[in-house]
Chain A
Amino acid sequence: MTRLFTTTALTLTLGLGLSSYAAADTLVIGLQQEPTSLDPTADATASIDGMLTMNVYESLTTVAENGEVLPNLATGWDVSDDGLTYTFNLAEGVTFHDGTEFDAQDVVFSFNRAMAEDSTNPSKGIFKPIASVTALDPQTVEIKLKEKDAFFLFNMGQGDSSIVAQESADTNNTDPVGTGPFKLDNWTRGDRLTLVKNADYRDADSVALDSVEFRFISDPAAATAAMMAEELDAFPGFPAPELLPQFEADPRFRVNVGSTEGEVILAMNNAKPPFDNIEVRRAVATAIDRDEIIEGAMYGQAVPIGSFYPPHGTAYVDLTGAYPHDTEKAEAMFEQAGVTGTTMTLRVPPFPYAMRSAEIIQAQLSDAGIDAKVENVEWGFWIDEVYKKKNYDMTIIAHTSPNDMGNFARGPDYFYGYDDAEFTTLWDAIQTEADPAKRDELLKQGQQYLSDQSVHGFLFQLPLLGVFRTGVKGYWASSPVLYMPLKGVSNEG
C-alpha cells in the first residue's frame, strides 16, 4: 500500500512537472580542514575560501568553473587603452548582511585595508600593481595601476580581494559579514558552521538551498563513515583516493574526479649542490616514473604534468615526454655528474599525496643509484625549515594558487633557490601582456623553459576528489580557484 502510494505520488509529481521533488532544501557538506578564522582577507586557510568566498563574501569579479572572469559586485568595467586604468560599475541595491548599504566607499575601504602598511592580507602581492583606488560616485570606482597586470581581473575575483564593510571588517574573523547569497547562521568552532540563504540577495531566486551546514571531519575513515551513514550529503574534497571504490560501487553516491590548480612537484633546492647542476636535475627527472607514482600514491586518480601549468588551462602544452623514464640512463647521468652513491634527504610535509609519492620516488631514485632519505615532517616544521630557511635537498608540495608560474621569478630568496634572469624577464612579459592569445603563447614558452631547465621534478596535477549523494546537483567538477559557489547547487534528496 505504502509503495503504491509512493509510486502514485511520484507519478503525480513528475506528471505535474514540479521542479521541487521531495526536495531537501538543506545540504550537509563535510570538510577535512577546519578553519580557525572566518576572514579570507587575513588568513590563508583554504577552507575559509572553500566555505565563504562567493557564498558569504563577494568580490568585484568572480571566476567561473572554466576559469573565465565574470562580473559580480562590479556589473561591468572599462579598461583604458594603456591598460592602466580600470573603471568598475557597481551593482545597485546591494546590502551587506548587517543591513548596511554597499557602495563605492566600501570598495575603496576594502582595497586600502588590503594595501595598508600594517595589512596582513595573505595575498598582499596581488594588490602590489595598484596605484590608487578612487570612488568617482557611489556606483563607480576607478582603479589605477602602476604597471600592467594581465591577472588583475582574475585576482579581483579571489577571496583575498573580498569586499568588506568598514563597520564589520574587524569582526569578520568570527562574525563574517558580506554581500553574498548566504549569511552566517551559526559557527560551533571545531564542529560545524551553518549558512542560511540571504533573502535580500539581489538574485535570491537563483539560490536553491535554504541552508548549508559544513561539518569538519579530518580523519578519512571517519569521513567515510559519516558519508555511509548519510550524515553528510557531500564531501567535495575527499581526502583518501583509496576509499573511493566503495562509493563508486554504491548507487547512493556519485564520485567526481576533477582538477584543481595544484601542481604537485618534487622540489629540488636549486641553490644547493648537487641540484645547482642542471644535469643532476635532469637525471632526477629521468629517474622518476610518473605513472607509477600516480598509480601508487593516487590510485590512478591524477593527470601527469611535465611542467608547471595545469592541464585544463588554455595555454597547456604536454611536456610529460621531455624526460622519458629510463632508470639506466638516469644512473649513467648521476654517475657522470659524480653524485652516485650520495645520500640526499627528501623532507615531506604531512599530506597523504606527498608522503605516498615520497616512498615511490625514494625507490625509483634508489634504482638509479641515489640514496634518498625520506623524512616525514610536520607542517609547522616544513614551513620553517624547508620553506623559510631553505634547509632541504628535496621536498614534495602542491602549489594550489592559480597563475603561480611566477613562483620561479621570486628569486633566490624563495625556497626553490632558483634565480634565472631569463625566466624573470619572460614572466614580466607574461604578467603585463593584455592580449589573451599572446599571453597564452608566452605561457607556453614559460612551460617549455621550466621543463628544459628541469627546475623540479614535475609530478601530477592534484585532483579534486568529491563524493556526493546522487541527489546533489550543480557542484563544480573542477575548481580553477579555491572557492566552490553554492548558489547553483541543489539537493534533490
Chain B
Amino acid sequence: MAYFLLRRTVGFVLTLLAVSVVVFAVMNVLPGDPPLTILGLDATDDALAALREQLGLNEPLLTRYISWVWNALHVDFGISHSFRVPVSTLIGERLPLTVSLAVAGMAVTLILALSLGIGAASKHRQVGDWGVMFLSQLGIAVPAFWLSMLLVLLFAVKLRWLPPGGFAGWSDPVAAMRSLVLPTVALALVQSAVLARVTRSSALEVMRQDFVRTARASGLSRRRVLWRHVLPNALVPIVTIVGMQFAALVTGTIVIENVFYLPGLGRLIFQSISNRDLPTVQALVMLFAAIVVTANFIVDLLYVVIDPRLKVRA
C-alpha cells in the first residue's frame, strides 16, 4: 500500500510538471500579445513597451518558466495580467461556485443514474426499462447548452420560478441555492443519461450470475437483492465512469457557466485564454489537471474498497 501511494504521488507530481511545461509552451507559441489585448488598438508603442516591462514579458522564456515554478512551489501563482490581482485571489473567489456546481451536479447525477439504471435493470424488457433507455438516449443526444436554454425558457422566463442566471455568492444561501438549481439540473441530466445506461448494463450482467439466483432462492426480497447484492457487485464499471464523468463535469461547467452567466472557474479560464493572461491560465489548467488526477486516484482507491481482490494487483 505504501508503495502504491508513493507511486501515485510521484505520478501526480510528474503529471503536473508535464502539464505546466505544455501550457507554458502552448501559451507562448499561440499568436497573441497581452499588452496589445489590454491597451487596445489606439495604444502607442511606448505605452505598449511600458506595459510589457511591467508584466515582466521582456524576460527570457526559460527564466520566466523557472521563476514561475519556483513561486508556484511557494504557493504563489503570480499576478493576473488582465485583472492585476493575485491569481490565487481570483481562484479563491470563483472556486466555491464551481465546486458547489460540480458536487451538486455529481450528487444529482448519482441519485438519478443509479435509481434509474437499477430500476431499468429490474424491469428488464418491460415498459419501465424501455422508458429509461429512451430518455437516456435523448439525454446523450441533447447538447448541454440547448437543454440549458430550454430549462431557462420554461422555469425562468415562462414560470418565473427560478432566476435565468447569475450568482451573487453564498452570503444569501437561499438565493444562491435558487441560482444553482437550473445549472445543476442541466449538468446532471446529460451526465446521468450516460451513467444510467452503464448502471443498467452492469446490473443486468450481475443479475445473470448464480449468486443472485441463490440469494432470491434463500428468500430475500427482490428489492433487497437488487440494492444489497447486485449494486455493490456492479459498481466497478460504474465507479470508472463516475471518475471520468467528474473530470468532464468540472470542464462541463465551462459551457454551463457561460449559458447561466455564472462567475466560476470555467468562465474565468475561457476569458483568460482570450486575454492571453498566462499566469491565470497556467494556474487554472494546473488546478483542473490536479482535480482530474485526484479523481482518478480516488477511483483507484475505491476499486480496492469495492473489490478487495484488486488489492493484490495494486
B31 touches A226 (CB 8 A): no
Write out, one digit per residue, whether chain A residues 187-225 have a CB within 8 A of any chain B CB (1) or not (0): 011111000000000000000000000011111011001
Interface-central residue, A190, A192, A381, A401, by most chain B CB under 10 Å:
A190
Contact residue among B50, B80, B165, B264 (Cβ-Cβ distance under 8 Å from A222): B165
Binds A, one of B123-131, B150-158, B218-226: B150-158
Binds A, one of B40-48, B62-70, B186-194: B40-48
A222 touches B32 (CB 8 A): no
Write out, one digit per residue, whether chain B residues 252-287 have a CB within 8 A of any chain A CB (1) or not (0): 000000111111100110010111110000000000
Residues of chain A contacted by B83 (CB below 8 angstroms): 36-37, 189
**Contact of B299 with A by CB under 8 A:** no
Q: Determine the distance from Cα of A231 to Cα of B258 in the docked complex, in whole angstroms.
A: 17
Interface-central residue, A124, A216, A381, by most chain B CB under 10 Å:
A124
- The smallest beta-carbon distance between B182 and chain A, in angstroms, is 11
Q: Determine the distance from Cα of A213 to Cα of B94 in the docked complex, in whole angstroms.
A: 20
- The smallest beta-carbon distance between A301 and chain B, in angstroms, is 24
Residues of chain A contacted by B296 (CB below 8 angstroms): none
**Contact of B289 with A by CB under 8 A:** no
B263 touches A190 (CB 8 A): yes
Q: Known interface pairs A43-B39, A122-B39. Does A383 touch B90 (Cβ–Cβ under 8 Å)?
A: no
Binds B, one of A68-76, A281-289, A384-392: A384-392
Residues of chain B contacted by A44 (CB below 8 angstroms): 38-43
Tally of A-B residue pairs with Cβ under 8 A? 152
Closest to A160 in B: B42
Write out, one digit per residue, whether chain A residues 277-306 have a CB within 8 A of any chain B CB (1) or not (0): 000000000000000000000000000000
Contact residue among B41, B94, B164, B262 (Cβ-Cβ distance under 8 Å from A226): B164
Binds B, one of A11-19, A113-121, A450-458, A460-468: A113-121
A222 touches B259 (CB 8 A): yes
B152 touches A387 (CB 8 A): no
A189 touches B93 (CB 8 A): yes
Q: Determine the distance from Cα of A37 to Cα of B84 in the docked complex, in whole angstroms.
A: 7
A189 touches B163 (CB 8 A): no
Write out, one digit per residue, whether chain B residues 60-100 have a CB within 8 A of any chain A CB (1) or not (0): 00000000000000000000101111000010011000000
Write out, one digit per residue, whether chain B residues 271-314 have a CB within 8 A of any chain A CB (1) or not (0): 10111110000000000000000000000000000000000000
**Contact of B181 with A by CB under 8 A:** no
**Contact of B110 with A by CB under 8 A:** no
Q: Known interface pairs A36-B83, A225-B153, A381-B32. Does A125 touch B165 (Cβ–Cβ under 8 Å)?
A: no
Contact residue among A36, A215, A380, A384 (Cβ-Cβ distance under 8 Å from B166): A215
> In the complex, how many residues of chain B place their beta carbon closer than 8 angstroms to a beta carbon of chain A?
56
**Contact of B237 with A by CB under 8 A:** no
Interface residues of A in 206-263 (CB under 8 A from B): 215-219, 221-222, 225-226, 228-229, 231
Closest to B85 in A: A174
Q: Determine the distance from Cα of A226 to Cα of B162 in the docked complex, in whole angstroms.
A: 11
Residues of chain A contacted by B260 (CB below 8 angstroms): 222
Interface residues of B in 3-55 (CB under 8 A from A): 30-33, 35-44, 46-47, 50-51, 53-54
Closest to A37 in B: B84
Q: Known interface pairs A44-B40, A219-B258, A225-B156. Does A231 touch B46 (Cβ–Cβ under 8 Å)?
A: no
A388 touches B33 (CB 8 A): yes
Residues of chain A contacted by B168 (CB below 8 angstroms): 188, 191-192
**Contact of A101 with B by CB under 8 A:** no
Q: Determine the distance from Cα of A231 to Cα of B169 in the docked complex, in whole angstroms.
A: 17
- The smallest beta-carbon distance between A40 and chain B, in angstroms, is 11
Interface residues of A in 265-282 (CB under 8 A from B): none
Q: Determine the distance from Cα of A189 to Cα of B168 in the docked complex, in whole angstroms.
A: 10
Residues of chain A contacted by B84 (CB below 8 angstroms): 36-37, 173-174
Residues of chain A contacted by B169 (CB below 8 angstroms): 188
Q: Determine the distance from Cα of A128 to Cα of B42 in the docked complex, in whole angstroms.
A: 13
**Given A43-B38, A122-B40, 9 other A-B residues pairs in contact with their CB atoms under 8 A:** A44-B38, A174-B84, A190-B263, A222-B149, A222-B164, A225-B157, A225-B164, A380-B276, A385-B31
Q: List 26 A-B contacts (CB under 8 A).
A: A36-B271, A43-B39, A120-B39, A121-B47, A122-B38, A122-B40, A122-B47, A190-B271, A215-B166, A215-B261, A217-B165, A217-B261, A222-B164, A222-B259, A222-B261, A225-B152, A225-B165, A226-B165, A226-B166, A229-B156, A229-B164, A231-B165, A380-B30, A384-B33, A384-B36, A388-B36
Q: What are the 8 tightest A-B residue pairs by CB atom distance, in nearest-first order?
A: A44-B40, A190-B263, A380-B32, A191-B263, A384-B31, A36-B82, A122-B39, A120-B51
**What residues make up the interface of B, taking CB atoms closer than 8 Å to A?**
30-33, 35-44, 46-47, 50-51, 53-54, 80, 82-85, 90, 93-94, 149, 152-153, 156-157, 160, 163-169, 258-264, 267-268, 271, 273-277
